[in-house]
Structure 1
Amino acid sequence: MPANHEPIDTVALALARAWRGGPPADDHALQGRVTSLAQAYAVQERLLAQLGVPPEGPMHWKSGGPSRSEPMRHAPLPPAGVRACGAGLEGLHLRHRWIEAEVALRIGRDVGAEEARSLTVQQAGALVDRMCVSIELVDSRWQSGRDAPALLKVADLLVHGALVLGEFVPYAPGNWAAQECRVRLGDAPPRVFTGSLGVGDPAWVLPDWMRHVTRDGAPVRQGTVVSTGTWCGLLEAQPGERVLVEFPGIGAASVQC
């Protein structure tokens, strides 16, 4: 944690107000308060505390990156926005309904910091017990929305809005390059994507994510769920529209926007 907490607290409080339905935070005024990735992650921690996440930490995360050659980024998710398949989005103050179709992984046992430090992708994948289709609704609490500075988007929980989880099934690494993903918005024909996850394999994110979660000594707890990146880019749904995501061989998830 940076020695001077005041800039971190200022940004976290502005974001917390917006998360609760207040006006969007002014990214132009606040971007000078967050000048490093460490500070952006510190804002995340302060923001989660403001949103009432229990001290033992979140059980849901998002992680990922555009490709294997680029750094992974991570964000804890407030439990109020984690919804079951078919649920609505009542009680959430969403300004946008941008859709990402994902595969979420569930960790089968506690993983401590020492173990996490040396994990390979294959070893981390062996720690997963279940997986499911998930839908992330991407949103922003910044006035500039998706055009806000990159570090401020990290601070805003990687512009997370909500996470909808389908039915969990046993984890089985498949032929991800051939995996199909179908996304249907309302009555429009489904859009089909094949092998389109930027990092190729959902388990790719796990070692870096686990090292991030355990960086202060706390374990990744058994049952923790992490979404692993979009297969469909970013699609825009309309309020009231039903979104259906299917990964043949894995399952499906839906949400009423």
Structure 2
Amino acid sequence: MTALANALIQARQSNQTLDATPWLGTLETAEQAYEVQDAVASALAWFGDQTVPRHWKSGGASRSATLTHAPLPPAGVRTGPADFSDMAFHVPGIEAEIALRLGQDVTPAMAAKLDHGDAASLIDAMAVSVEIVDSRWQELAATPALLRLADSQVHGALAIGEWQPYAAVDWASQRCETKVGDAETVVREGTHPLADPAWLLPIWLRHVTRHGQTAPAGTVVTTGSWVGIVPCRRGDQVAVEFAGIGALRLSV
């Protein structure tokens, strides 16, 4: 695992991609992948003396899938309208999402007792967010899930729109419109893979607090794509709108 972490660190520092073939079978569990995440973040000094990173991604393909999580380097987290033209990406894609923000500290004991019905009470705000997905792996489609997870779950950058008070939403009818460059607008309705973005909160918070740390108020999690991954290119202008919640623009 140390060798894998070192390879990912070097890939980030040199802005190069890796062939996944030599690393197949290196990881056997998600916990090992999370250890690589932590090693990369520590070596690159992403979070300084923060006990718990302030921005995360979390999600999964369905409620029956194992959800995965990654802390996000703060240099790539920006408030919209956001410009990412100064950042290097390899084969980026756009995910239109909803971000949620903790309104209070959450201790490990609190996280252990949370269920899907009461976790939303911990959230004070929500915002439209756009994740730029990017990978240090050359052939992402052929890269095993654990190697993707080790690479910060193939995170590139995150834009966050204006925060709104968190309120109950009919997520099953929520409309999302995503336009990238000159491509046709992608319209989706009720397509969050977990049906409700807040459903992941107990699982995510147990992960965040698993080593005994408290997740502080203000910690943000972006919760999974409504549109899958929409390809984009350098210079593309991106516009995302969730009806009744907000809109966000960014340039890649």
TM-score normalised by structure 1 residue count: 0.94
CA distance in 2, matches of 1:162, 1:246: 18
Residue among 108, 111, 124 paired with 2:103: 108
- After superposition, the C-alpha distances for 1:44-70 in whole angstroms (9 at most, x for unaligned) are 111111221223231000000111111
Tell me the CA shift for residue 144 of structure 1: 1.9
CA distance in 1, matches of 2:42, 2:24: 21
Structure 1 unaligned segments of length 5 or more: list them: 1-7
- After superposition, the C-alpha distances for 1:77-129 in whole angstroms (9 at most, x for unaligned) are 01011011122114422102211000000001110001101101222100000
Residue among 16, 21, 31 paired with 2:9: 16
Kept in 1, the 8 Å contact 2:176–2:226? The answer is yes
Partner of 1:143: 138
Structure 2 unaligned segments of length 5 or more: list them: none
Please show how residues 1-257 of structure 1 align to structure 2 within 5 Å.
8-53=1-46, 54-56=48-50, 57-257=52-252
Tell me the CA shift for residue 254 of structure 1: 1.4
Kept in 1, the 8 Å contact 2:97–2:131? The answer is yes
Deviates more, 1:157-166 or 1:22-31: 22-31
CA RMSD of aligned residues (A): 1.2
TM-score normalised by structure 2 residue count: 0.96
Kept in 2, the 8 Å contact 1:19–1:93? The answer is no
Tell me the CA shift for residue 20 of structure 1: 2.5
CA distance in 2, matches of 1:192, 1:130: 24
SS at match of 1:157: coil
Partner of 1:3: none
Identity across matched positions, percent: 45
**Aligned partner of 1:22: which letter?**
N
**Which aligned segments of 4 or more residues in structure 1 are displaced greater than 3 angstroms?**
none
SS at match of 1:133: strand
SS at match of 2:4: helix
Tell me the CA shift for residue 146 of structure 1: 3.2
